[in-house]
Structure 1
Amino acid sequence: MSHVVLRRVSWMVFFGVALVGLGIGAVVAVLAVSAANGFREGWQAIPVFLAIAGFIGRIGNCKVIIRDEVLTVVNPLRTHILPKSAIRGVSVDGGGTLRFHLDQDREISSFAFGGSLIDHFVGSSGKAERKVEMWLRADRAESAAAAEAVAPQARWTRCTSADAAIVLGVVVAAVGGIWMAFTSS
């Protein structure tokens, strides 16, 4: 198995539609405000859109990745890398959140499979739980000895497109602010 990516299809659809809708709304806002007050006022929707796009991108990037001996939980801010030997179990809590149980009563929750109204009808958290359980049971004895020395890790989540949108929004806001300061009457 090379890798399996688990994510909610409904999130991808929702965030894709939201991003396109906000993009169209931002263009309409820039054009409408620019027509009434000039581009000096209209450009301000651009950094707002970029910041929201970055936020949406980080949430839409959440997923669970299953590789041969490692499970990776990508959340909006933190990514958890869990060797198979460190995972004691997986469950879905009463609210529909997928949780990975580690030693010493530690738990890692998956934001991608947090509780949702749609999940109560579709059962995507339960399906993800079953896939992870099958992965955990497969070759468990061999993988425990191979990955015993590897501890779970956590690092900041990298999402190039979302981070680029946020940085570009800050740059546009700074350049626009400087431009407005130098061109004010």
Structure 2
Amino acid sequence: MDLGKKTLRRRSFVALSWIMTIPFGMVSFGAAVSMSDGVDVDAFAVMAACLGVIAVARRILGSRITLGESELAIVNPVVTYTVPYGMIAAVSGGTGGTLTILTRQADEIHSTGFGGSLIDHFVGSTDRAVEQIKCRLKHRPKHSGKDDMQRRFTVAWFADTCGVGALFCAASDVIVGM
């Protein structure tokens, strides 16, 4: 069995991410181009709104689970959890279909990338992800060298760049509008 790095994510999240990014990006670009004749306060507001939508959408839709050789990472919109396989007590699809990792310290970690949905009830992407994680747990290394779960802020470069751009455009809108 190949125990290399593997990323689990819903295909719909990837598609929706691009469906949100491309049109809102084009509108934002169009607003920027419209200012070639002069500064327009409304264009800054449009760019701020579009970039803000892209930032939020990319953070949420970038949620995923990464299976490594000795640990898994649950990447949620704000916090990323890295859990060594030896610390995982149980993996379940939950009552609402949300993928949940239960650690040996009784921490419950819910995956935004595999949250419950009506469509998933029919498609079964959460159940497939649970099975892949359980399979990885059966073939995990005896000792990974890491004993603690780690929590850290999720870095999403594209989303964060759009968020900073949205703040810059909103500040420009306020300053120019005075």
TM above 0.5, one fold?
yes
Q: Does 1:82 find its partner at 2:83?
A: yes
1:98-117 alignment, distance < 5 Å: 98-117=99-118
Contact 2:92 2:99 in 1 (8 A): yes
Letter paired with 2:14: M
Q: In the alignment, which residue of structure 1 is the partner of 2:68?
A: 67
TM-score (norm 2): 0.87
Alpha-carbon offset, residue 139 of structure 1: 3.8
Letter paired with 1:41: D
Alpha-carbon offset, residue 45 of structure 1: 0.6
Q: In the alignment, which residue of structure 1 is the partner of 2:161?
A: 164
Contact 2:78 2:154 in 1 (8 A): yes
Alpha-carbon distance in 1 for matches of 2:159, 2:64: 15
Q: In the alignment, which residue of structure 2 is the partner of 1:173?
A: 170
Contact 2:73 2:82 in 1 (8 A): yes
Aligned residue pair count = 172
Alpha-carbon offset, residue 94 of structure 1: 1.6
Q: Does 1:13 find its partner at 2:10?
A: no
Q: Does 1:133 find its partner at 2:130?
A: no
Letter paired with 1:21: P
Q: In the alignment, which residue of structure 1 is the partner of 2:95?
A: 94
Alpha-carbon distance in 2 for matches of 1:25, 1:95: 36
CA deviation string 1:21-67 (max 9, x = no partner): 33345567x49x98xxx833333110111111100010121100000
Q: In the alignment, which residue of structure 2 is the partner of 1:150?
A: 147
Alpha-carbon distance in 2 for matches of 1:139, 1:65: 14
Alpha-carbon distance in 1 for matches of 2:41, 2:52: 19
Contact 2:88 2:103 in 1 (8 A): yes
TM-score (norm 1): 0.84
Letter paired with 1:152: M
* Aligned-CA RMSD value: 2.1
Q: In the alignment, which residue of structure 2 is the partner of 1:120?
A: 121
Alpha-carbon distance in 2 for matches of 1:47, 1:76: 20
Moved more, 68-77 or 7-16: 7-16
Gaps of 5+ in 2: none
Alpha-carbon distance in 1 for matches of 2:126, 2:98: 7
Contact 2:27 2:47 in 1 (8 A): no
**CA shift in 2, pair 1:139/1:47, >3 Å:** closer
Q: Helix, strand or coil: the match of 2:83?
A: strand
Q: Which has the larger radius of gyration?
A: 1
Letter paired with 2:173: G
Alpha-carbon distance in 2 for matches of 1:151, 1:67: 15
